[in-house]
């Protein structure tokens, strides 16, 4: 398979807009009344009684959790770049992409 510059550029232009990795954390009234209030009253909660469709990930995501995601993302990029700098170049006798 040969690299097609026009197709590559078109694919780059067709990429959808970047979306945030995590949604903004929100308070869940369902979790407050059905889980946390019952935990503070009784000290226990049966997870089989939980309606998993009544809340989303944004309802259980801690505030400022996106900062750790950003640090992890940057760490991965720095690690990949360091690995690529140390990797010796290879000469290929045939055309190839990457």
Long-range pairs for 80-86: beta carbons < 8 A, 24 or more residues apart: none
Extract long-range pairs of 53-59: CB within 8 Å, 24+ residues apart: 54/28, 54/30, 55/28, 55/30, 55/31, 56/23, 57/22, 57/23, 58/22, 58/23, 58/24, 58/25, 58/26, 59/25, 59/26, 59/27, 59/28, 59/30, 59/31
Kindly state the percentage of the chain with pLDDT values over 90: 31
Residue 98 has pLDDT above 60, yes or no: no
Tell me the pLDDT tens digit for each residue of 35-57. 999 999 988 888 898 999 999 98
């Amino acid at each position: 398979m040969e690299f097609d510059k026009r197709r590559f550029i078109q694919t780059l232009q067709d990429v959808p807009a970047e979306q945030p990795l995590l949604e903004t954390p929100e308070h869940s009234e369902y979790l407050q009344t059905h889980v946390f209030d019952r935990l503070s009253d009784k000290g226990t909660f049966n997870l089989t009684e939980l309606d998993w469709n009544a809340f989303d990930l944004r309802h259980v995501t801690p505030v400022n959790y996106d900062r750790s995601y950003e640090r992890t993302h940057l760490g991965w990029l720095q690690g990949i770049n360091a690995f690529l700098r140390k990797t010796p170049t290879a000469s290929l006798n045939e055309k190839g992409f990457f």
